[in-house]
């Protein structure tokens, strides 16, 4: 049972570099999310998707982009990395249907990103 898989687990970037955090889920979930977690803070929603081809901004979308070309994959792109983007990033997924809706999110193990 893979669940939600994130790569890489750790990454160090220089200011101005770009990178993509990969996220894949094998549970056929329609919803997918990207959160960031800063020390002493709760998780903040960056972007989310309700299905393939549909994405929307969360609370803190600036400096990030996403795409959802398939149900399984939801990559997060960082353009022109800044020190403020140093954080732990979590991908999550959930299923919401007309008759099934638990509201439960399934999380990946996280990706620790440092921008120097």
Does 104 help bind another protein (rule: CB under 8 A)? Answer: yes
Secondary structure letter of residue 60 according to DSSP: -
Residue range at the interface with another protein (CB under 8 A); choices 17-25, 63-71, 78-86, 91-99: 91-99
**E strand residue ranges, 1-116:** 4-7, 10-13, 19-25, 31-37, 43-51, 54-57, 64-66, 76-78, 87-94, 106-107, 111-115
Q: Within positions 3 to 62, which residues make up the interface with another protein, using CB under 8 A? A: 31, 33, 35, 40-45, 48, 50, 56, 58
**Residue 32 in contact with residue 51, Cβ under 8 Å?**
no
Residue range at the interface with another protein (CB under 8 A); choices 11-19, 63-71, 75-83, 86-94: 86-94
Residues in the interface with another protein (CB under 8 A) total: 27
Does 76 help bind another protein (rule: CB under 8 A)? Answer: no
């Amino acid at each position: 049972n893979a669940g939600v898989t994130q790569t890489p687990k750790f990454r160090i970037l220089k200011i101005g570099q770009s990178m993509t955090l990969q996220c894949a889920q094998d549970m056929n979930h329609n919803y997918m999310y990207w959160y960031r977690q800063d020390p002493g803070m709760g998780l903040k929603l960056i972007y989310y998707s309700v299905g393939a081809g549909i994405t929307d901004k969360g609370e803190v979308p600036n400096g990030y982009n996403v795409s959802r070309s398939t149900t399984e994959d939801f990559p997060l792109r960082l353009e022109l990395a800044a020190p403020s983007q140093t954080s732990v990033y979590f991908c999550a997924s959930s299923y919401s249907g007309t008759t099934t809706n638990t509201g439960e999110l399934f999380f990946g193990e996280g990706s620790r990103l440092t921008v120097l």
